[in-house]
Structure formats: structure tokens, C-alpha cells
Structure 1
């Protein structure tokens, strides 16, 4: 779909449902053929990673890992191994707030069907949540689960990874100005022809409205919120961002946005800070180079990391 009147170079846009979310792509291209080639390359890359890392596709490498790694070391691709290893690094950095084994309890939640595990079910599975149960062999790319009930879900990092890989594809095709969005993860290539991109952060309690717009150039932003997949029961909001320590939805803030150069890192950190809460989350972000945070607390107040307030 064309965004502007015909010219020698134009903006091209399209979207698609992949990885359980809406993928949006905008590119500035010299021709319709180049624009369509670039957009198709993004969609193909997103689907490739979906087939590799989706816990819902039985044939995916991640599903096969979950099915077999408790029985013995299971060899995976370098790409999946590297992302899991990086997720463990984020887990260490956040003192366990980010933990890809949250799925050991998380698989019992069904937000569309409004199903959640009771306290007894959570307690019976909680010991399986710990990335310390993962044994990685860097030489063979083999992974073994030391606990029989461990399940991995890369929902807190895979979309960011897919966005980064898609932007790499666009660069290889000669694209210099683009935006790639996968759900809450957006990365920007260049500017919008002399102007910054304006990226909105959704209001967590008013669908269709934005809490703030951020001008960005050649950067990325990821947002995690309690409004993405949830249902309410007896006044309690049950959403998909679980605290690894409790197996229950984290409830200290409403949304977290992380700004930095890497969508992969932003994606993981936005989940981490959501679990950690306002004070600990801002302390973490202020200790890291190149990343900033915008947090909306439970009173709908907006808080900024020091790098955003110092300027």
C-alpha cells in the first residue's frame, strides 16, 4: 500500500499477523519493486523466526527443545542457542526478574479462555521456574533441562530479536529509512527524511490513546504492559507478564518502555523492569549504558530514567 503520491522515491507500508502479533513495516524506497522486496524480506524473516522459536508450533526448534531437553542434552541451532544464552545473561543482570523458564507455570494460563492456575497448581510447578536449571554446552550448542518440568518461552525477547534481524535484512537491501514494529517492539532505521520518527507509548488504561509520543532517530523502543494479554476476575487483572518468584502476574506498574539501540535488549529489559517495579527498575536502567526507561506506575504517573530527565 502506497503512503504518498507517486514520485521517484516513496514510502511503502504493509502489515501482517505473524508471531501472534501485528507486524508493521514502513520503508523509503527508490521504486515499488524495491519497497515490496524490502517489506517481503521483513515478513519472511519474521515468519522464519516464528517457525524457529514459537512455543505454540509443535515442529519449532523451541518446542522440540521443550519436549526433549529434560530427557537429555538436545542440540539446537546457533541462533536459538545464542538467544537463550543472552536471555540467561539478562536473568543474571536482573537477579532473576527476567527468566525464560517462567513458562513452567505460564503455560497453565489461557487469557482468551479466562483460565488461570490456582495457588495449589502454581505451588506444584514453581520450583521449575529457574534458568539455573538450564545446562548449556557452548561447544555443541546442546541444552539440557536439569528439572523435569522446565519449559522455556522466549516471548520476552524473541520479538525484539526478530525486529533486529529484520532491520539487518533491510540494511542489506540498501534501505536507509525504515520502521519495523512487532507488537510492542519498534526499531527505526535512520530518520523520517529530515525529521525524527514519532513513536507513541500506549495509555495502559485507554485503548487507542497514547500516553506520550517520543521523537527518535536510528533507535529502538520496546514497551511491556499489563494490557497486552489479560482478563479481569473479581477486580484482579491477570496478564501475561509473570513474576518468576511467584508464578503470578507482576503488579507493581502498568507499563514500561525501554529506549536503546537494540530491540532484543529493549524487549528483555522492558519485561524485567515491569517485574522489578519502579525503584529497582530505574536503578537498573540508570546503571546501564545506552538505555533509558519510561515507566507508568499504578497511579498512572509517568517516571523517567536519569538520562531522560538530565537533558
Structure 2
């Protein structure tokens, strides 16, 4: 009897020592013009800390390569020289721009990285917007068809003198996907990585789903929806991320490629799917398309679902979320 009790006690001690050896690690840093947040579970302090550091370094690397605000970035150099001749770029940048153009085709131009041809004239921190005449003059430069590729030499050319591109609608999603891939490679099985409105989940939260909120577009202290999710991604585009108000009108960073001005039919769009890169781009495209066309796009895109908050603050769900 004593031996049975001793064996039971030993089992309990071993169970709790193993079960309590791991812990949650987390960190937040300002990178890519937004808040980068990481949470992960690790049995080892060294593994946990190194994994978080690897994520932050990857975010910094992508920012240095793809920020249009860093003069030395690969993207800035492309914007500077690609209107003159073909420019050789890294495979990573080439592939992401290629994907962006393919998505532009699929979304009938609603997602178009050449929006920056006008978009660069907006300064949301200084509450500055371009004059109507400037928009009209540059509007023809907004057209993904101006981006020409030379796949054999990994080169890109802009076939219009005023074209500029901005990967703000896809680069953060790409960075989040890369971060989760790094965590998987390091042996992490439970994690959350967020870059602004882009979140990706690795596994669940130790047997429970992650509870991910979609914020109320008009009240940062409230959630419009809270979703139980695991091993997937959620990206939200909202008119509250970068904006200013002038003469009773909100000027925000999600521009319609057709007008060069802010899109106003909705306040936020959230996309759920396995690829944060696609989630990021789709949330922008659906925002620009509006409720009807946006939902039509989602309902014909397998594996991706969405929630729209329209400009009357009404919630709309894609078909798979209400079935």
C-alpha cells in the first residue's frame, strides 16, 4: 500500500514539474510604423527569449527593405529608379510585388499598390491632403498594369513616369507569416504575432482558443466582435488607423485606386484565413470594394471569410460565418 502511495505521489510530482516548467513569454516593440506584439509558450527561457528576438529582428529586416519612408530601403530605390529603366530586386521583393499585381487582377484593381502614386501626397500626421488638381494629374499613374516584370533577370520597370508603389497593404501580413514560420522552425507550438491590424496564431492557447478581438472602429476601448480562433490569421483594415478630420470629413489611408481619395462605404474589414499575406491584401480590397462587391469577392474565395462594419456601423458576415 505504501509503495502504491509513493508511486502515486511520485507521478503527481513529475506531472506538475513537467506541466509547470514552461511559461508564456511576450514583448511589444514599435516597428514598421506600428505596434509589434508577440506572445509564445516555451519550456525554456532561452528558447522563448531567442524566439521573440528572432521575430523582432525579422520585422526590422522587412521594414528596412520595404518601407517607403526609409530612403535606403530596396522599395525606395525601386520607386526612385524604376521609371527610368528595369531595376534588379531581391527575390523576396520581386515575388511580393508579383503577388500584389496578381491580387490586383483578382480584385478588379481594388487592391493596387500603385495607389501610392497619389497616396504619397497625403500626410496624416500633419493633416495634409493633395489638391484636387494634383489628384487628377496623377490619377493615370494608379494602374497596376504599369508594373512590368522581367522574371528571368528578376527586374521591375514602371511604364509611367509618375508611378510609385507602397506595400503597406501586404508587407505586414508577409512579415507576420515569416515570423510564425520562424517560430515553427525554432520548435514553438503556441504563439501569437501581431503587427498592427495583422494577427497570426500558431496552434491554440494551451488547449483553449485564442480570443481575438475586432475593435469598434469608433471606440478603441470596445470590441465590435470577439472571435475564438486557433492556427489561423486575422487581418483588419480600418479607417481609424491613419487619418485626420477636416471640415467634418475623415481622410484616411485606404484610398480607392479609381479616385485617389479615401473609400467611405465601410469603417473596417476583417479577414480570417491561413495566410496573413492574403488576409492583409484582401482586407484592403474588400474595404475599397464596399459591402456588396466585397462580400461577393469573399464568398468566391475558398478558405477566406470576412466581417465588415459598414459606415452605418452595421455588421456583415461572409456566408461561411453564418452557415
TM-score band, normalised by shorter chain: over 0.9
Say whether 1:86 aligns with 2:99: yes
1:242 aligns with 2:251: no
User: Whole-Å Cα distance in 1 between the matches of residues 115 and 172 of structure 2?
Assistant: 17
Unpaired stretches in structure 2, ≥5 consecutive residues: 1-18
In structure 2, the residue matched to 1:74 is 87
Match of 2:187 in 1: 174
3-state SS, counterpart of residue 44 of structure 1: helix
- How does 1:124-143 map onto structure 2 within 5 Å? 124-143=137-156
Residue among 284, 307, 315 paired with 1:294: 307
TM-score, normalised on structure 1?
A: 0.97
Say whether residues 1:153 and 2:158 are aligned partners: no
Deviation at 1:208, TM superposition (A): 2.0
Give the Å deviation of 1:14: 0.4
Q: Structure 1: which 5+ runs fail to align?
A: 1-5
Q: Provide the residue aligned with 1:3 in structure 2.
A: none
Q: How far, CA to CA, are the matches of 2:159 and 2:295 in structure 1? A: 33
Deviation of the 1:7 alpha carbon: 3.8
Correspondence 1:217-232 to 2 at 5 A = 217-232=230-245
> Residue 221 of structure 2: SS of its match in structure 1?
coil
After superposition, what is the alpha-carbon deviation per residue over 1:57-102, rounded to whole angstroms, capped at 9, x for unaligned? 1110000000100010000000000000000111000000000000
Q: How does 1:23-42 map to 2 (within 5 A)?
A: 23-42=36-55
- Which residue, out of 105, 108, 111, partners 2:121? 108
How many Å separate the matches in 2 of 1:138 and 1:195?
45
Task: Note if 1:121 corresponds to 2:134.
Answer: yes
Query: Quick one: distance in 1 between partners of 2:246 and 2:41?
Result: 45
Q: Could you give the per-residue CA deviations for residues 154-203 of structure 1, whole angstroms, max 9, x where no partner exists? A: 00000000000010100110000000000000000000000000000010
Q: Which residue of the partner structure matches residue 268 of structure 2?
A: 255
Partners of 1:49 and 1:107 in 2: CA distance: 20
TM-score (normalised: structure 2): 0.94
Aligned equivalent of 1:285, options 298, 304, 319: 298
Q: Secondary structure at the match of 1:209?
A: strand
Q: Which residue in 1 is equivalent to 2:208?
A: 195
Runs (4+) of structure 1 moved beyond 2 Å? none
SS at match of 1:207: strand
The secondary structure found in structure 2 opposite 1:179 is: strand
CA deviations over 1:137-167 (Å, ceiling 9, x no partner): 1111100010011000000000000000010
Higher helix share: 2
Q: Which residue of 1 aligns with 2:322?
A: 309
1:44 aligns with 2:69: no
Partner of 2:11: none
- 1:65 maps to 78
> Computing the radius of gyration over CA atoms, which structure comes out larger, 1 or 2?
2
